[in-house]
Structure 1
Amino acid sequence: MSHAVSRLRAERLQSSTKPFIARGSKAVRCERCRVVPEYCLCAWRPKVATQAGMLLLMHDVEPLKPTNTGWLIADLVADTFAYRWFRTEVESEILALLSDPQWQPYLVFPGEFVTPERVVTEVAMEEGKRPLFILLDATWTEARKMFRKSPYLESLPVLSLQPEHLSRYRLRRSKRNDHFCTAEVAAMCLELAGEQRAADGLNAYLDVFSQHYLAAKMKREVVLDDLAHERLREFL
């Protein structure tokens, strides 16, 4: 079963003129969960109903990275949409999605970089609409460029998150532990939208994914009866 991020990855691979080479990219991986087969995560995919939607605007090679957590979002949130970001153009499907009357879009970005009149800190829904959270899936440097160079997003309210905890993500290096991975951001958005169970499921899924990925990298056994796996079992 494919989803938006897996389809985007396939399209990105097909359009590549040279192989993508990065840390961990040469390992043989399960096509469904991107983890080394001996540590496969497919049986741990959570099943949670959601009303919110996620629009992932992904920087060039993000869909190809085995550590990308947008994949986890698409595994859990049924209405996840994923598109490559381009500096000079925008895909028509993105514009159609943003104008679809069933959705109320929120661009998720730190409020300190935005004019105050655009910033919101809560999800207030109009009757008959569902929240659509737009996540810039990229490194922090790339995301700032994407934010500045996407004029079609300039009219949207900017949802500025106010996290009360630090990032738990361990698969990529960051100089700051207040920078969150995409799945952590999505979980906070779900919580603001009143979908606490979906938020908890996504956080539990991220923790187990991280454990399996690191165990495969270090060639050590995964403990399947620990607290992280017990939490995720509630959502299977």
Structure 2
Amino acid sequence: MARSVVLAGTVRCERCQLPPRWCVCAGLGPVESALQVDVLMHSREQWRPSSTGKLIERVVTGAGAHVYRREAPPERSTVAAAGRELWVLHPLGESLATMTLPPAANVQVLLLDGSWGEAAEMVRAVEPWGRRVSVPMTGKSRYWLREQQGEGKFSTIEALLAVLAVLQERDAEAHLRLHFELLVYATLLARGRKWPAAEYLEGSPIKKALPEFLARLVQPRRGEPHAARRSPTERQGEAE
């Protein structure tokens, strides 16, 4: 396993950014979809370990990741896929529920990964690139890693899950949801949040889908820390 030291004494997987005991990389295979997925990640978001844009890039086959910097935003030509209609996903866009939808194979969706303010900045820069769309989402977020989540607020990956559902990419949606909820559960464990993790698991499809892998996650291993310490960046990310 590739490793990087995030904090003194804390070794983490280079891919999922979790300590080896809670690494989720071997839990599931890649997500396949006819939809072309790209993530435009704010330059600040790329340093937040709880970013779900990183998970999308890691597990969705062919997904693109692009860093947005105000002083040097990316060009459309470096992001747009030839032969596909480009959708820029944003809550204030045209609702997919009212549109005649093309096949997923004809669509590229651009997800904006950052805080609400950062997403507003990015959408102004990329709106001319394509069609700004929104997707109906109700209820509460399953992303328990940032404190601001509540009614009507969802993570980047949950927005993608909703798009996959609308486009009838059911297998991809189900598989990506497992990846997402596995990462949330393992991160709660790594932070020492045993009881929230147990509560989260009770309402998650990973409990039935991955029983053996989950059992290994909670099995104590000699010489490894019980929980990972969080950096100031991580703690800030939870509050944004």
TM bin (shorter chain): 0.7 to 0.9
Aligned residue for 1:206? 180
Aligned residue for 1:43? 26
1:33 is aligned to 2:16: yes
1:95 is aligned to 2:74: no
Aligned residue for 2:43? 60
SS of 1:189 mapped into structure 2: helix
Instruction: Supply the distance in 1 between the matched residues of 2:77 and 2:173 (Cα, whole angstroms).
Output: 27
Instruction: Supply the distance in 2 between the matched residues of 1:82 and 1:38 (Cα, whole angstroms).
Output: 27
42-51 or 165-174, which deviates more: 42-51
Judged with a 3 Å threshold, the aligned counterparts in structure 2 of structure 1 residues 231 and 132 are, in CA distance, closer, same or farther, namely: farther
Instruction: Supply the distance in 2 between the matched residues of 1:129 and 1:209 (Cα, whole angstroms).
Output: 28
Aligned residue for 1:180? 154
Instruction: Supply the distance in 2 between the matched residues of 1:141 and 1:176 (Cα, whole angstroms).
Output: 17
Following superposition, the deviation at residue 175 of structure 1 comes to: 5.9
Judged with a 3 Å threshold, the aligned counterparts in structure 2 of structure 1 residues 218 and 144 are, in CA distance, closer, same or farther, namely: same
Judged with a 3 Å threshold, the aligned counterparts in structure 2 of structure 1 residues 229 and 144 are, in CA distance, closer, same or farther, namely: same
SS of 2:152 mapped into structure 1: coil
1:106 is aligned to 2:87: yes
**Does the 8 Å contact 1:102/1:129 carry over to 2?**
no
**Does the 8 Å contact 1:208/1:228 carry over to 2?**
no
- Normalising by structure 2, we get a TM-score of 0.72
1:135 is aligned to 2:135: no
Judged with a 3 Å threshold, the aligned counterparts in structure 2 of structure 1 residues 28 and 123 are, in CA distance, closer, same or farther, namely: farther
**Does the 8 Å contact 1:39/1:216 carry over to 2?**
yes
Following superposition, the deviation at residue 206 of structure 1 comes to: 1.2
Opposite residue 36 of structure 2, the aligned amino acid is G
Alignment RMSD (CA, Å): 3.1
SS of 1:41 mapped into structure 2: coil
Following superposition, the deviation at residue 168 of structure 1 comes to: 1.2
Following superposition, the deviation at residue 51 of structure 1 comes to: 0.8
Q: Give the percent of matched residue pairs that are identical in Structure 1 and Structure 2.
A: 24
Q: Which stretches in structure 2 are left out of the alignment for 5+ residues?
A: 214-240
Superposition pairs for residues 161-200 of structure 1, below 5 Å?
161-174=135-148, 176-200=150-174
Higher strand share: 2
Instruction: Supply the distance in 2 between the matched residues of 1:170 and 1:80 (Cα, whole angstroms).
Output: 24
Instruction: Supply the distance in 2 between the matched residues of 1:71 and 1:210 (Cα, whole angstroms).
Output: 13
Superposition pairs for residues 151-170 of structure 1, below 5 Å?
152-170=126-144
Instruction: Supply the distance in 2 between the matched residues of 1:196 and 1:88 (Cα, whole angstroms).
Output: 39
Following superposition, the deviation at residue 220 of structure 1 comes to: 4.7
- Normalising by structure 1, we get a TM-score of 0.73
Following superposition, the deviation at residue 192 of structure 1 comes to: 1.6
